[in-house]
Chains A and B, each alone.
Chain A
């Protein structure tokens, strides 16, 4: 171990009080926030839960600390402990100093002087975080009134308008009088940020501020946070489970596991030179949207430990492939990694790890599964699902007794695609783009539908009687987003899996055999069939959901956001499973997901939807590698990449505003209102976008050859609907963060 670092072995082995003392002395004097040996314990019915077990960090003015961890890692509890917002029953010990003043142990009343003034916070769910019965203006002004009792009403109102303008809310003066329900989720999160920065805080804590938002809105809100930090010079603590979100923003990263920091350091140390197997696993578990090369994701088996029991060894040891007996003997302290001043890792093997050790090898990622269909050209495979010009329009009516039609919501407006054997087709788009309605239309399978659905050769137009329908259902099964909600809590796994088989008319013996087979297929222990869903973890429940879908041997599985409710490390395992099943069973998938990284990882083809229409469709590497439609480009550029260097230098397209109401859709191109190309076009060309609807046209081979070096076929599989794909982008919507200077030591 290096001797030049401040953290000696004696310090970490000492008593907490001693450690606190030493660490407190070592705390840099210019830190705005310094946390030492923070512990939080909750009393629960089952005993004491030790939710945070010794967190130390220093936050310098104007810098950003990213706290990364999965659910239950103690990252949110840490932030609430700093704010003094934990319930009274929580036991908090240690030290939290804001500009040298101790905050822990202060009364609620005394904390009020700091909260909202020097210390501010933005919460995760913008929909529930604003009081529904007060106007946005009242709520911003309240934050000003509390800390500036002498401020005049006009001054407060002017400041509120200024704040709203700063966070990018159009016509802020009028919007002051709007209620939260009149704002979209992204707008509400902007308001939350406006409230948080109202009094120019020294420290701004953002707890998963974009998790509940669409990617394009996430990009906007992250941009607003960036502006807010620049305007106020506040230090930011960014709490997230998404390694991409913090890659571009953070200066330092703290990875938490089981209530403890397991690795801390500069952002480059953590991303490029991880020294703790958990960090390596986390980094390997997230697919990348900007990488075409296909490798399996790194699955971290098992579950985080239960914090009711004090871990005897390294808390990650039960899930760690490198764990050996010394790991289980005692919890390793956070000790310095040689070669870097700030980098520390809590692993006794950290010296043998580093940049050149591949997480794929450490965690024994499975080989990329190969399907028997992969070698076969797409044209030769038969179609399992075909949609022809599907439309779903909802009339918008007004009036209670006599309904007047005042408009039409075109939820799905003439979409066609097909899915061949053994391929995964994905639909992506913001919420409200019509992805789910498309799925519902497929499941509906009714003669009177507008458009034709052909599933395994059965068309909804020919015979949609009960027999055909049940034959269709055997061809197509569904996996739902929320694994907990999708399983009846009073059914055992056996009953869950037996139900579809009984419907198919199988006898008891065959059902039993099939269920055992299914359990093994999805990687669950067959002897767990008599357990109830609540005895399984989220990832295991999703596996049960997949097993249920596969019970009747379908050809096509519809996956509706199958991994979005799961933690990153668990998500990887489920994605690998889906990949393997597709290859082994020759399945086809129709995947709806908002996470484009997952889509790129798992899909063969992808369709990008915007306001009920497909704007770009084709092979996933073509569409993602060379997006032609401005919306696809914007969507892709909104995804943060877990690579700090890429994040710091890349150009981002930040779309203005939210998805417009389908009622306001223009006659021509739906996207014109938010299009970065349209905004920069000369008026003559703008006219064309507004009056004519661009058709979905294939990319010409010459174009494909120009942009993609390896263009094999004569007609590349990529079509898009835009008149001016090569138009200049509007400069207002382009953002580049050159934060290289940020990282000077």
Chain B
């Protein structure tokens, strides 16, 4: 297993290196931060702009190859991912952003999975009954409605509650109230900020797991081995939960492992709408601000997360399915 992980890891390191390098060349040849500097008032001279860029390691006069070599050397030797045109250090910014994204999505991912899989099982056991129809219709609706609209609807709902109570219970945007005292008050404030985004992301997210889990379970409910389990003396529901469920979870486990990282790296709408400045919104901002190093860093982060997801998916499959052997 360890050897397998090491080998897969090595392959992904090579892949990440290639995508990131390609991304850097693309960014460095298309993003021109110097142009934005010239819109400042008073307008700096081209020499001043070039000098300030050179100080931040973003010398526009160097060829893309030279800049790539410098950039790569800095990462390899000092783990320094460079600076933004506004002078900020990528390393410092990056840590904050990842932490914000993680905090925003962690709770909702767990809730999405648990609720989605549980509802999938519940609705499969009641196929074509009223409960199943309601739940599955909702899931398809969640599929169809664009995420930003759903997020706005949840925000509106939270505002309505605030207004009808006459007191601000939920914060619909932001991470925390500045200047609040540590302790109980801070904890309540955190919950008030967390509730709306978490509920919104969860409500939109569970649909796909519910549909997948329901479908895979239904494929297995009438399987021969479930009939064998019933012939042993298990009731229908026992046979389904003990035998069909685990088998039907195999493909779901794989898809879960793949989607977790995708959410971490790309919750652009949620971050924007709820004003949590995480990795997703940062990557879009980087492009509009002509920020070569930030854009490349988010790309590298996305690749790493994807590789982790792929390894996690393999790992999950081996864990739940003994037929898959790792060599």
- Residue from A121, A133, A134, A135 within 8 A of B231 (CB atoms): A121
B225 to chain A, nearest CB (A): 4
Task: Name the residue of chain B whose CB is nearest to the CB of A179.
Answer: B322
Distance (Å) between the CB of B1 and the closest chain A CB?
16
CB distance from A145 to the nearest CB of B (A): 9
- A370 touches B (CB below 8 Å): no
Contacts of A133 in B (CB 8 A): 246-247, 250, 320-323
Q: Please tell me if the beta carbons of B234 and A112 are within 8 angstroms of each other in the complex.
A: yes
Known contacts: A131-B247, A133-B247. The answer to whether A142 contacts B224 by CB under 8 A is: no
Q: Tell me whether A123 and B227 are in contact in the complex, defined as CB-CB below 8 angstroms, given that A108-B236, A179-B322 are known contacts.
A: yes
Q: Is the CB of A131 within 8 A of B225?
A: yes
**Which residues from A are CB-within-8-Å of B327?**
398
Count of chain A residues near B, Cβ 8 A:
33
Pick the residue among B232, B246, B322 that contacts A116 (CB under 8 A): B232
B236 nearest CB neighbor, chain A only: A108
Please name the residue on chain B nearest to A133 by beta carbon. B246
Alpha-carbon separation in the docked complex, A146 to B230 (Å): 11
Q: Which of B225, B246, B250 neighbours the largest number of chain A CB atoms within 10 Å of its CB?
A: B225
Question: Which residue of chain A is the closest to B322 with respect to CB atoms?
Answer: A179
Contacts of A398 in B (CB 8 A): 327
Cβ distance B248 to chain A, nearest Cβ, rounded Å: 10
A706 within 8 A of B: no
Q: Are A116 and B233 in contact (CB under 8 A)?
A: yes
Q: Are B232 and A146 neighbours in the complex by a CB distance under 8 Å?
A: yes
Q: Are A143 and B246 within 8 A (Cβ)? A: no
Residues of B within 8 A of A (CB-CB), count: 24
Which residues of chain A from 105 to 119 have any CB-CB distance to chain B below 8 Å in the complex?
108-109, 112-117
Q: B231, B242, B243, B247: which contacts A83 (Cβ < 8 A)?
A: B231
Instruction: Indicate if A382 sits at the interface (CB-CB under 8 A).
Output: no
Flag if B232 contacts A143 (CB, 8 Å).
yes
State whether the Cβ of B228 lies closer than 8 Å to any Cβ in chain A: yes
Q: Let me know if B224 and A128 touch, CB within 8 A.
A: yes
Most buried by A among B224, B250, B327: B224
- Cβ of B235 under 8 Å from chain A: yes
A639 within 8 A of B: no
Residues of B near A108 (CB, < 8 A) are 235-236
B31 an interface residue at 8 Å Cβ cutoff?
no
Q: Are A123 and B224 neighbours in the complex by a CB distance under 8 Å?
A: yes
**Residues of chain A lying within 8 A (CB to CB) of residue B90:** none
- Tell me if A457 is interfacial: C-beta within 8 Å of chain B: no
Instruction: Contact check, B233 vs A128: say whether CB atoms are below 8 A apart.
Output: no
Contact assessment for A116 and B231 in the assembled complex, using a CB-CB cutoff below 8 Å: yes
Q: Would A146 and B233 be within 8 Å (CB), given that A125-B224, A132-B322 are in contact?
A: yes
B223, CB-defined interface residue at 8 Å? yes
B230-A85 in contact (CB<8A): yes
Tell which of B232, B233, B250, B323 touches A113, judged by Cβ atoms closer than 8 Å.
B233
Q: Which residue on chain A has the smallest CB distance to residue B250?
A: A133
Bound-state Cα–Cα, A120 to B233, Å = 9
**Those of B89-107 within 8 Å (CB) of chain A:** none
CA distance A143 to B242 in the complex (A): 13
Contacts of B321 in A (CB 8 A): 132-133
Cβ of B231 and Cβ of A115 under 8 Å apart?
yes
Query: For A123, what are the chain B residues with a Cβ–Cβ distance below 8 Å?
Result: 224, 227-228, 231
Interfacial chain A residues near B224, Cβ < 8 Å: 123, 125, 128-129
Chain A, residues 546-586, CB within 8 Å of chain B (1/0): the string is 00000000000000000000000000000000000000000
Closest to B229 in A: A131
Give the chain A neighbours of B243 by CB distance below 8 A: 131, 134
Interface flags for B187-206 (1: CB within 8 Å of A; 0: not) read: 00000000000000000000
A78-91 contact mask (Cβ, 8 Å, vs B): 1 or 0 = 00000101010000
Q: Is the CB of B323 within 8 A of A143?
A: no
CB A424 to nearest CB in B, in angstroms, measures 37
Contacting residues, chain B, for A113 (C-beta < 8 A): 233
Q: Please give me the residue from chain A that is nearest to B321 by CB atom.
A: A133
Chain A nearest Cβ from B134, distance in angstroms: 21
The reply to whether B231 and A120 form a contact with Cβ atoms under 8 Å apart is yes
| CB nearest neighbor in B for A178 | B322
A212 to B93, CA, bound (A): 64
Q: Is the interface of B mostly helix, strand, loop or mixed?
A: helix
Q: How far is the CA of A609 from the CA of B327 in the complex (A)?
A: 34
Which A-chain residue is minimally distant from B230 (CB atoms)?
Answer: A85
B225 touches A130 (CB 8 A): yes
Interchain CB contact under 8 A, A181 and B235: no
Instruction: Point out the residue from A83, A112, A132, A192 that lies within 8 Å of B235, measured CB to CB.
Output: A112
Residues of B230-257 whose CB lies within 8 A of A:
230-236, 242-243, 246-247, 250
- Contact between chains at B233 and A115 (CB < 8 Å): yes
Whole-angstrom distance between the Cβ of B220 and the nearest chain A Cβ: 10
Chain B CB within 8 A of A147 CB: yes
- Partner of B227 from A85, A120, A146 at Cβ < 8 Å: A85
* Contact call B228/A129, Cβ cutoff below 8 A: yes
Q: Is the CB of A147 within 8 A of B233?
A: yes
Complex: chain A residue closest to B7, CB-CB: A400
A479 at the interface (CB under 8 A from B): no
From 127 to 178 in chain A, residues with beta carbon under 8 angstroms from any chain B beta carbon are 128-135, 142-143, 146-147
Which B residues are CB-close (under 8 A) to A146? 232-234
B residues near A143, Cβ cutoff 8 Å:
232-233
Q: Are B323 and A115 in contact (CB under 8 A)?
A: no
Q: How far is the CA of A558 from the CA of B322 in the complex (A)?
A: 40
Do B225 and A115 touch across chains, with their CB atoms under 8 A apart?
no
A109 and B231 alpha carbons, distance in the complex (Å):
12
Nearest to A205 among chain B residues (CB) is: B231
Residue-wise, chain B 278-319 has the 8 Å CB interface mask toward A (1 for contact) of: 000000000000000000000000000000000000000000
> B323's contact among A121, A181, A192, A196, by CB below 8 Å, is which?
A181
Residue of A whose beta carbon sits closest to that of B320: A133
Within 8 Å of chain B (Cβ to Cβ): is A677?
no
Known A123-B224, A132-B247; judge A109-B232 contact (CB<8 A): no
Most B CB within 10 A of own CB, among A131, A135, A179: A131
**In the complex the two chains form, what is the Cα distance from A122 to B243 in whole Å?**
18
Provide the bound-state CA to CA distance between A150 and B250, in Å.
33
Give the residues in chain B near A109, CB-CB below 8 Å: 235
Are B223's CB and A112's CB within 8 A? no
- Taking a contact as CB atoms under 8 Å apart, the answer to whether A112 and B233 are in contact is yes
In angstroms, Cα B239 to Cα A83, docked, is: 15
Give the docked Cα–Cα distance between A195 and B243 (Å): 15
Q: Which residues of A contact B236 (CB under 8 A)?
A: 108
Please, how many angstroms separate the alpha-carbon atoms of A570 and B222 in the complex? 30
The residue of chain B having its C-beta at the shortest distance from the C-beta of A128 within the complex is B224
Bound: A123/B232 CA distance, A? 12
A130 to B235, CA, bound (A): 17
Query: Which of A125, A128, A132, A142 is in CB contact (< 8 Å) with B232?
Result: A142
Tell me, rounded to whole Å, the shortest Cβ–Cβ distance linking A96 to chain B.
Answer: 15
Most buried by A among B223, B232, B322: B232
B15, chain A: closest CB distance, angstroms: 15
Residues on B with C-beta less than 8 A from A135 are 322
Given the known inter-chain contacts A179-B322, A179-B323, A181-B323, please indicate yes or no for A130 contacting B232, CB distance below 8 A: no
B233: which of A117, A132, A134, A181 is its contact (CB, 8 Å)?
A: A117
In the assembled complex, the CB of B124 is this many whole angstroms from the nearest CB of chain A, namely: 15
- Given A112-B234, A131-B247, answer yes or no on A192-B228 (Cβ-Cβ < 8 Å): yes
CA distance A115 to B230 in the complex (A): 7
A-B contact pairs, 21 of them (CB 8 A): A83-B231, A85-B231, A108-B235, A112-B233, A114-B233, A117-B233, A121-B231, A123-B227, A123-B231, A129-B227, A129-B228, A131-B229, A131-B246, A132-B225, A132-B321, A133-B247, A142-B232, A142-B234, A142-B242, A146-B233, A398-B327
By Cβ-Cβ distance, the 9 closest A-B pairs, closest first, are A116-B233, A116-B232, A128-B224, A146-B233, A131-B225, A143-B232, A129-B224, A121-B231, A179-B322
Chain B residues near A (Cβ < 8 Å): 222-225, 227-236, 242-243, 246-247, 250, 320-323, 327
Further contacts, 14 of them, CB under 8 A, given A87-B222, A128-B224, A146-B233:
A108-B236, A112-B233, A115-B232, A116-B233, A117-B233, A129-B225, A131-B247, A132-B225, A132-B323, A133-B321, A135-B322, A142-B232, A146-B234, A179-B322
